[in-house]
Amino acid sequence: MVKLVSISQALLVAEHLSFSRAAQVLGIRQSAVSRRVRELEDRLGVSLFERDAGGVRLTEAGRRFLERSRSALAEIDHAVKGAASAGSGAEGAIRIGILSSLSGGFVRELLRTYRATHPEIAIEVVEGSASEHLARISERLLDIAFVTGTPSAPHCDTTVLWEAPVFAALPERHRLADQDEVGWGALKSERIIVSRDAPGPEIHDYVVRRVGDLGHSPCVDRFGVGRETLMHLVALGFGISFVSGAGTATRYPEVVFRPLATAEDMLPYSAVWLPGNDNPAFRRFLSLARSMSSRQPAPVATETAS
């Protein structure tokens, strides 16, 4: 088997055209360099150098072999350095699943901070429903996902990172638009509109639960549109909708956002990931998320009669 150290020493001899000079650079005896190069030539079955009283020079076979070896060793060196960097989380990629808007809130600030401290890491962000994200996590298509609530995710680790207030999205001419906050009692008979895609299913389940607590079955229409078009439908009077606090950072014509009044209307958001995921970039991301979560102020909500 050809040893890399033998090739490395032969390259040094070729650079200086001297066994003695190569040995001086390496800090070893000339005889040790000569022996390694000779063993390499014996292994290859060709002479790499012509030796005479005036010094050494490369043979044609030696020139070709060492040119290719130099490129190969450079690639190996690059691979070693790359592995070391990736092992320390200094480069790599991370794939993140989200539900809510990035116009504001915890995830926006998390991504901003992470990119500022790790600009060399590629970040892929994927929107989807909680069920889609959990499936992608299990299939190792995502490193981490942020979902509402505290999902039951077999074989996954989960942790609640933050809570966000829930806001009603109302047409600006709505009867409740001039209120500072609204309660479910005033909203229970409203027509609710949601998107078919995320986060529509999560909003639907949330509304059904909250209105169901009042003994009513809500009227919910689903539209195959994105968040922006849904807000325009709210403005046009198709119904009201709901967003988390992060979603209120984006303004829409003729739409107002009003917070819901009770302490229960704080949605927990959880991170979900596979415990065996050893992607260093992900591990640093998760560590940052936990650190930022620990600095979050305790949520404050008021309770009023609905």
CATH number at residue 152: 3.40.190.10
Same structural domain for residues 169 and 155?
no
pLDDT in tens, 18-56: 898 888 888 899 999 999 999 999 989 999 999 887 778
Same structural domain for residues 148 and 195?
no
- State the pLDDT at residue 237: 96
Least confident piece of the model among 17-26, 100-109, 143-152, 251-260: 100-109
- Please, which pLDDT band fits residue 261 given cuts at 50, 70 and 90? confident
Same structural domain for residues 222 and 208?
yes
Cβ-based burial of 275 (10 A; exposed 0-12, middle 13-18, buried ≥19): exposed
Same structural domain for residues 217 and 179?
yes
Q: Is residue 248 pLDDT above 70, yes or no?
A: yes
Domain C-terminal end among 47, 62, 87: 87
- Please, which pLDDT band fits residue 303 given cuts at 50, 70 and 90? very low
Q: Where are the alpha helices (DSSP H) in the chain?
A: 4-16, 19-26, 30-44, 60-87, 106-117, 130-138, 184-187, 200-212, 227-235, 280-294
Residue 43 lies in a domain: yes
Same structural domain for residues 150 and 170?
no
- State the pLDDT at residue 299: 43
How confident is the prediction for the chain on average, in pLDDT? 86
Residue 305 lies in a domain: no
User: What sign results for the dihedral spanned by CA atoms 18, 23, 29, 33?
Assistant: negative
Same structural domain for residues 186 and 245?
yes
State mean pLDDT over 73-77.
72
Same structural domain for residues 178 and 150?
no
Domain assignment of residue 240, given as a range:
163-259
Same structural domain for residues 37 and 79?
yes
Domain C-terminal end among 35, 69, 87: 87
State mean pLDDT over 84-98.
74
- Inter-axis angle of helices 60-87 and 280-294, to 10 degrees? 20
Count the neighbouring beta carbons within 10 Å of the beta carbon of residue 279.
20
Residue 302 lies in a domain: no
- State the pLDDT at residue 209: 83
State mean pLDDT over 102-115.
89
Tell me, what CATH number does 78's domain have? 1.10.10.10
Q: Is residue 305 pLDDT above 50, yes or no?
A: no
Start-to-end CA distance of the chain, whole Å, equals 81
Domain C-terminal end among 60, 87, 114: 87
Same structural domain for residues 83 and 227?
no
pLDDT in tens, 161-214: 998 888 999 999 999 999 999 999 999 889 999 987 767 777 888 888 888 888
Same structural domain for residues 234 and 273?
no
Same structural domain for residues 179 and 226?
yes
Enter the pTM of the model.
Answer: 0.60
Residue 303 lies in a domain: no
Same structural domain for residues 192 and 253?
yes
- State the pLDDT at residue 229: 93
In percent, the amount of the chain with pLDDT more than 70 equals: 90
Q: Is residue 97 pLDDT above 80, yes or no?
A: yes
Structural domain count of the chain: 3
- State the pLDDT at residue 265: 83
Tell which wins on pLDDT, 59 or 53: 59
- Residue 167 phi, psi (nearest 5): -120, 145
Residue 140 lies in a domain: yes
- Please, which pLDDT band fits residue 80 given cuts at 50, 70 and 90? low
Residue 271 lies in a domain: yes
